[in-house]
Amino acid sequence: MPNYDFRCNDCSWKFSRQVAIKDKDQVRCPKCGGKVSQLFTGFLYVRKGEPGAGSTGSSCSGSCSGCSGCH
């Protein structure tokens, strides 16, 4: 199952949850029980056989440490 990042619409708590794709709309905030919105975070894709060839996905969320590709 994939990990998804969420933010609570009520208390703004950010958290990650491992949940099936079909169940991600049922996730509630573990802190206050409020409804949540999914956060979209960056990713890195590297093709096999092409050293150094890679492309970054969506924009940087600012939460990665040690990432030099965002700035």
Please give the pLDDT value at position 64. 57
The residues pairing with 54 across neighbouring beta strands, listed in sequence order, are 46
Please give the pLDDT value at position 45. 77
For 20-67, what is each residue's pLDDT tens digit?
A: 999 999 999 999 999 999 998 777 778 887 565 444 444 555 555 555
Contacts of residue 66, Cβ cutoff 8 Å, sequence gap at least 6: none
Higher-confidence position of 71 and 23:
23
C-alpha angle with apex 21: 57 to 69, nearest 5 degrees?
Answer: 15
Amino acid at residue number 41 = T
What CA–CA distance (Å, rounded) separates 35 from 64? 25
Please give the pLDDT value at position 1. 82
User: What residue segments make up the domains of the chain, in order of their start?
Assistant: 3-56
Please give the pLDDT value at position 48. 82
pTM, to two decimals: 0.57
Q: Which helix (H) or strand (E) holds 13?
A: none
